[in-house]
Amino acid sequence: MKKAIVLINALSEKATEDELDVLDQASLIEETLELLGYESERLFMDFDLKKIHDQIVSANPDLVINLVESLEQDARLIHWSPSFLTHLNLPYTGCDAESMYVSSNKILAKKLMTSYQIATPLLITDVNSGQFSPDTTYIAKPVWEDASVGISDANVMKGSPANISAFLLNNPGRPWFFEEFIPGREFNISMLGGNEGPEVLPMAEIVFNDYPEGKPLIVGYEAKWKEDSFEYKHTVRRFGIEQEDPELTEKMKEICHQCWKVFGLSGYVRVDLRVNTQNQPLVLEINANPCLSPDAGFYAAAEKAGYNFSQVLSRIIEDAYSKINR
Ligand SMILES: Nc1ncnc2c1ncn2[C@@H]1O[C@H](COP(=O)(O)OP(=O)(O)O)[C@@H](O)[C@H]1O
Ligand SMILES: [Mg+2]
């Protein structure tokens, strides 16, 4: 039997919903690994690199499933584990350190997109640059978070100097950037790697049901994680754009493939986009190694494509091995 390590970031004592989610993914993966002929061992990574080094080396795995999302709750360290696994010359699932870093640093990601003509909403990093227009709506986003951490209705505002400085004053403690707010339709598009190359899975649209007039249509923290909230209950995933609008589908598909290439992605990825009034899709972000839990977007898209989770994991593993053989 082959051996796989399921590598997870050590969780904080009072772990939040978005943090705990990795354990659901780990359980699903461990069950599936068994079906694929692997025995698995779960290891937790923290700042003690010597300890995790020795644990991995003594386990002598054929493969590592990299589920590390942060270290010491700091998402800026997301690329440490793929760097470390590259150093150990072990096949590991998901994106490599470079793609993790450039996609997770959202400012860097947007700059890279822009330099390759991948459309993304206007970026403002310097609040004193005079780029804000008081009549335009913007959204403030944390540079280093994902999973909608730090995103709520208060992040959406008109670009008056008073609004911008009030937001920054009320939200200290993490770096922010601003983006032009795109009020159009939102799509989450999952891509699956494997020996046959990346495949764009059925595209999920996030529909905002019965939102009161004036309430920003965004998938903030509540909508993603707080099951009792209005936002969670009123945002639903739907499929079908491929049949309804082949032209828009083709545009989004092409953008996703471009992202895969430019960012050197591998394994499994989800690209979040919004469509502007000219029917032009703009990339909000690239999620390298998105959540694989059964209630999350990637799983739903794979299911819609007719894949079971063993097939999904096999394809992710194919990419892990093909990277090491390059
Ligand atoms: N420029 C934008 N225009 C409109 N909505 C946005 C914009 N950027 C983010 N959002 C909303 O905020 C949500 C979270 O932003 P996103 O960039 O996907 O970051 P993350 O999911 O990593 O927190 C999106 O799903 C979308 O609903
Ligand atoms: Mg997102």
Minimum CA distance residue for ligand 1 atom 14: 148
This prediction's pTM: 0.95
pLDDT at 21: 86
C-alpha dihedral over 293, 281, 95, 304, to 10 degrees?
40
- pLDDT for the residue 37: 97
Q: What CATH architecture is 2-92?
A: 3-Layer(aba) Sandwich (3.40)
Specify whether the CB–CB gap between 271 and 256 falls below 8 A: yes
3-state secondary structure of 171: coil
Confidence grade of residue 17 (pLDDT, cut at 50, 70, 90): confident
Is the per-residue pLDDT at 232 higher than 90? yes
Pocket of ligand 1 (CB under 6 A): 121, 139, 141, 146-148, 151, 179, 181-182, 186, 218-219, 272, 274, 284-285
Cα(182) to centroid(ligand 1), Å: 9
| pLDDT computed for residue 5 by the predictor | 98
CATH fold group of domain 101-120+183-203+239-324: D-amino Acid Aminotransferase; Chain A, domain 1 (3.30.470)
Average pLDDT over residues 145-165: 92
The domain segmentation of the chain, as residue ranges, is 2-92, 101-120+183-203+239-324, 123-180
pLDDT of residue 326: 55
Q: How confident is the model at residue 268 (pLDDT cuts 50, 70, 90)?
A: very high
Pocket test of ligand 1: the residue of 143, 224, 284, 289 to mutate, having most ligand atoms within 8 Å of its CB, is: 284
Number of H helices and number of E strands within the chain? 12, 13
> 319 CA distance to ligand 1 centroid (A)?
28
